[in-house]
């Protein structure tokens, strides 16, 4: 066992002697330059511009601003993703939407309504909540009425 260990140590010593820089042992002597057999001229050394040679650093305020903005973006992204996931769940299952549309008369003649507040079953598109705008592509949610383009409940301008 000792013989095998000494043989390994001897080989390591030869490696250190052959390649001292690789083992952190700079002897201060360099090997003589060898003649190049390449036909292309050597490339010039790249030069670092003076502006980027030293490390640039923003202040502590810059780091705090980046942290605040990054946190805001992450929270906003999470909220948006949650809303999309909720919309997808609603759309994939199919919901009941209102098909009731009313035109509110400005002359005091009441409402001219058609449809039912529970008329569209299996609707897979988006629906508008109370107070939101409604169109043919975005009907009101169930139990709401689209009164002049705005979703309202049973106590709105056109009671049901």
Report the SS3 class of residue 104: strand
CA 119, distance to chain mean position in Å, is 38
Question: Which pTM does this prediction carry?
Answer: 0.41
Tens-digit pLDDT profile for residues 41-92: 677 777 766 655 555 555 555 666 666 676 666 666 556 666 665 555 555 5
Separation between Cα atoms, residue 138 and residue 26, nearest integer Å: 77
Separation between Cα atoms, residue 77 and residue 69, nearest integer Å: 12
The average confidence (pLDDT) of the chain is 74
Closest by CA position to 99, among listed 113, 109, 85: 113
């Amino acid at each position: 066992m000792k013989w095998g260990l000494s043989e390994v140590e001897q080989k390591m010593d030869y490696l250190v002697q052959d390649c001292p820089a690789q083992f952190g042992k700079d002897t201060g002597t360099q090997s003589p330059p060898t003649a190049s057999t390449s036909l292309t001229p050597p490339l010039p050394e790249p030069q670092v511009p003076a502006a980027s040679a030293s490390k640039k650093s923003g202040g502590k305020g810059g780091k705090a601003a980046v942290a605040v903005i990054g946190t805001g973006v992450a929270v906003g992204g999470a909220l948006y993703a949650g809303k999309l996931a909720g919309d997808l769940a609603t759309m994939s299952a199919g919901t009941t939407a209102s098909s009731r549309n009313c035109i509110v008369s400005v002359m005091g003649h009441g409402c001219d309504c058609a449809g039912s507040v529970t008329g569209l079953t299996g609707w897979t598109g988006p629906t508008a909540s109370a107070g939101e705008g409604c169109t043919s592509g975005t009907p009101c949610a169930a139990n709401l009425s689209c009164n002049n383009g705005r979703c309202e409940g049973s106590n709105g301008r056109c009671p049901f």
